[in-house]
Amino acid sequence: MSDLILIIDDEANLRRTLAQILRERGYAVLEASNGVEAIELLRHSIPDLIFSDWKMPEMGGEQILRYLRDAPHLAMIPVIVITAFGSSDSAIEAVRLGAYDFVTKPFDLDEISLTAERALAHSSLNRDVAELRSKAGHNGNPPAGRLIGTSGPMLEVFKMIGKVAETDSTVLICGESGTGKELVAEAIHKYSQRKAKRFIVVNCAALPDHLLESELFGHERGAFTDAITRKIGRFELAEGGTIFLDEIGELSPSLQAKLLRVLQERTFERVGGTETIAGDFRVLAATNRDLEATVAEKLFREDLFYRLNVVRISVPPLRERRSDIVTLAEHFLRRYSEENNIPTVGFSDDSILMLQAYSFPGNVRELENMVERAVVMARGRVVMPNHFPTRVETGQSGSSREVQVDLFSLPFHKSVAELEKHLIKNALRDAAGNKTEAANRLQINRRLLYKKMVDYEIKD
């Protein structure tokens, strides 16, 4: 089904041109010549994206934005505001009021379709989130939206979220990869007074430095070669809402300095701009690094660290809250069965045991992927141990009680080390602790075996 776009503009020619362009690109289009007409249309159809003129008689862009924001089922629809060229005031005002973006008249066709595409991608993401949230709501369970967990450590996390949500404190969310840091950030926003405003995510590791800077702070037209138009940065987009800086440990020294100032003064300038912009945003940050260690190594500014670490939430790895494994597995089973239209059955007892015994180096994300795959493989039958990857099975077999890890997911040296450790332990066990015999089995000399045993702290 093609995406539905609503265009609101009182200038008939302009509206029709835009509608035609969008139809040619495969979108379904609805047209309204003013806000009142638009609201009438919105009673029967919910578009995926809205283009709206700013200045219109009767009901202008500003009122339309306010109307949408207050309607729960419409608040998610991205709105691209059409403004006259050069009227940056209305553009900024529009973005402040929650518009996704703006385009200027006269139209640049490529710019328009690009903006529409981006907005639609954004909107489908939001829809998924909304759907999941409403599903979670029906069961009446998960206390923090989509965050599932009943273990002691997770209840502590929920409590922390509850305590800090209402405040404007900066929160540093720490935890291994895949533990749910982003969900925690979303929950903080969702339970805050800022919930009607945006939750803006920036992955600090995803962009090279100069691009990240203009992504965060925006840039003026002509600030650098590719800066054809003015760009509103993420901090500005987060106005009134929350900005989530993910993978904060990867920030370069120069951006660390800039961020420090933003946190201290709540002001910034667009790249290439002179105007100082004061913003109202709440900052949440996350890292899977040991940030204290990074500070000790002088790779991360200590003053910035303290600014971020006002409140800290540590999300524990899954292996430290094993009682959540089954709850989460069942949640993912329901979710992926529904998504794939496969009837939900359940897990066999031995597959549950297997999950409970596994170490989950990739945490909840690994469990989620595993269950998704198992659902597809089981095709409506009970999920059995053989529907999980072999690494999980070997974890349960009890042949060695040490932590099982997915060797292929580790950095090279670590995985080689893990493998050596594993081979040596097995050889020692098979040789009943006799080192000469174990060295023979491994076809290495005894001295090397001793050295490795010391290196890896393997006791005889």
| Footprint of Mg ion (CB under 5 A) | 182
| Contact partner, 149, from Mg ion, ligand ATP, none, Cβ < 5-8 Å per class | ligand ATP
- Phi first, then psi: give them for residue 164, nearest 5 degrees: -90, -20
How far is 414 from 309, CA to CA, in rounded Å? 30
Cβ atoms of 215 and 202 within 8 Å: the answer is yes
CB of 183 to Mg ion, least distance (A): 9
Q: Which stretch binds ligand ATP (CB under 6 A): 72-80, 147-155, 193-201, 394-402?
A: 147-155
92 is a contact residue toward ligand ATP (CB under 6 A): no
CB of 234 to ligand ATP, least distance (A): 17
Count how many Cα atoms sit within 13 Å of the Cα of residue 456 in the half-sphere of its side chain. Answer: 21
**Residues within window 338-367 making contact with ligand ATP, judged by CB under 6 A:** 364-365
How many residues touch ligand ATP under the rule CB under 6 A: the total is 17
How far is 450 from 444, CA to CA, in rounded Å? 10
Which of 7, 91, 103, 147 is the binder for ligand ATP (CB under 6 A)?
A: 147
Beta-carbon contacts of 334 under 8 Å, excluding residues fewer than 6 positions away, are 344
Cβ atoms of 8 and 64 within 8 Å: the answer is yes
| Contact partner, 249, from ligand ATP, Mg ion, none, Cβ < 5-8 Å per class | none
Q: Which is nearer to ligand ATP, 50 or 161 (CB)?
A: 161
CB of 407 to ligand ATP, least distance (A): 19
How far is 381 from 96, CA to CA, in rounded Å? 51
CB of 284 to Mg ion, least distance (A): 12
Strand-pairing partners, residue 245, are 202, 285
- Phi first, then psi: give them for residue 231, nearest 5 degrees: -125, 135
Q: What does the buried/exposed string (b/e) look like for 277-291 if buried means 16 or more CB atoms within 10 Å of the residue's CB? A: bebebbbbbbbbeeb
CB of 181 to ligand ATP, least distance (A): 3
| Contact partner, 255, from Mg ion, ligand ATP, none, Cβ < 5-8 Å per class | none
| Contact partner, 370, from ligand ATP, Mg ion, none, Cβ < 5-8 Å per class | none
**Residues within window 313-342 making contact with ligand ATP, judged by CB under 6 A:** 328
CB of 157 to ligand ATP, least distance (A): 8
**Residues within window 165-204 making contact with ligand ATP, judged by CB under 6 A:** 175, 177-183
| Contact partner, 441, from ligand ATP, Mg ion, none, Cβ < 5-8 Å per class | none
Beta-carbon contacts of 335 under 8 Å, excluding residues fewer than 6 positions away, are 132, 135
> Maximum distance among all alpha carbons in the chain?
92
Degrees, nearest 5: CA angle 140-142-148: 150
| Contact partner, 242, from Mg ion, ligand ATP, none, Cβ < 5-8 Å per class | none
Q: Which is nearer to Mg ion, 117 or 182 (CB)?
A: 182
- Interface residues with ligand ATP (CB under 6 A) are 146-149, 175, 177-183, 288, 328, 364-365, 368
